[in-house]
Every structure is written in structure tokens, then in C-alpha cells.
Amino acid sequence: MQPDDLDARLVQLLTDHPQLPILECARRLGVARGTVTSRLARLQAGGVISAIVPQVDPAGFGYDLVAFCSVDIIQNIGHEPVTEAILAAIPEVTDLYTVTGDHDLHLRVVARNGQDLQDVLDRISQLPGVARTSSSLALRTHIQGRTLPLLHAVTDSTS
């Protein structure tokens, strides 16, 4: 679907003020309450808004280390068994992608400290189907999961 400028401003407003009532949103955007309601419904139906749920941050309970890990898979094994094994066995894996390039899988993992990270990477390496892993530590997270600038860019160029 194609969101417009009003959609972008609505999402921005809700992002800045998480629990702002719909009536207040309508007031600040200068539209009727029903408009805000229908827009929200349309955004959710269209998949632009995937969910409105509590965002759990692992750093909040000690997992403040982030690393990226590339996994090579043993040749004659499919991707599925390996990805399923990783997802099932390693809760520290927050993101898992099949990628092109030098390696097969790309994952983002979190850990409590260096020792814990080594343990996590070891557990991944020892999973059946995993041939080799290589990793790099995130020294600093400049931004993570930002999407609003893109949404604004799209709606600005549209209007």
C-alpha cells in the first residue's frame, strides 16, 4: 500500500507519544477521530504497521553485548534444518537471515559479556549442519530498527 503524509505524521506522533489517545491524535493532526481510526486500521491491514506490542530490549536485563555471526553450512545439508536448529536451540539469536556472498547465514546475537558471547558462539558452532562460523563484535549501536525517516522520505516525495 501507499501511505501518505497524514499516515507518516500519525505514526510519528504515536512514536513520540506512545500512549496518546486517538482523540488527542485527531486533535493534533487536525482531523476527525474516525479518520485516525480508519487510518490506523488501514496501516495495520496493509502491513505498514506490523504490530503495536511491548518492545523487549535484552540490554534491559543484562544482554548488552551485540555481535554478528556468519555461518557456513555443510554443503549437502539444506538450510532449513540448520536454521530451525539455531532458532530452537539458541535464544540469544535475535535475527537470522539467509544471505548471498561468502557465507550462508547471517545472524545477530546478544550476550551478557565476552565469556557469555564465546559460549553462545560455541553452541552455534556445535550445532549439526554448521561447518564454520565467524563473528564480529558490535562496538557501538548507532541506530537499530529505524524506519520513520524512510516513511517520511516516501510520503514527502509522493505528495
Partner DNA sequence: GGTGAAAGGTCATTAAG
Partner DNA sequence: CTTAATGACCTTTCACC
Tell me the number of residues near DNA by CB under 7 A: 14
List 46, 74, 118, 122, residue binding a copy of itself (CB under 8 A): 46
28 binds a copy of itself (CB under 8 A): no
18 binds a copy of itself (CB under 8 A): yes
Which of positions 44-103 make contact with DNA (CB under 7 A)? none
Q: Between 115 and 146, whose beta carbon lies closer to a copy of itself?
A: 146
List 5, 14, 28, 37, residue binding DNA (CB under 7 A): 37
Given DNA, a copy of itself, none, residue 125, with its beta carbon under 5 to 8 Å by kind, binds: none
Give dist(CA 73, CA 85) in Å, integer.
12
Torsion angles phi and psi, residue 142, rounded to 5: -75, -40
- Return the SS3 of 65: strand
9 binds DNA (CB under 7 A): no
**In 133-148, which positions are buried (b, 16+ CB within 10 angstroms) versus exposed (e)?**
bebeeeeeeeeeeeee
List 55, 75, 76, 115, residue binding a copy of itself (CB under 8 A): 55
Cα–Cα nearest to 99, from 88, 91, 108: 108
Burial class (CB in 10 A: 0-12, 13-18, 19+), 10: buried
75 binds a copy of itself (CB under 8 A): no
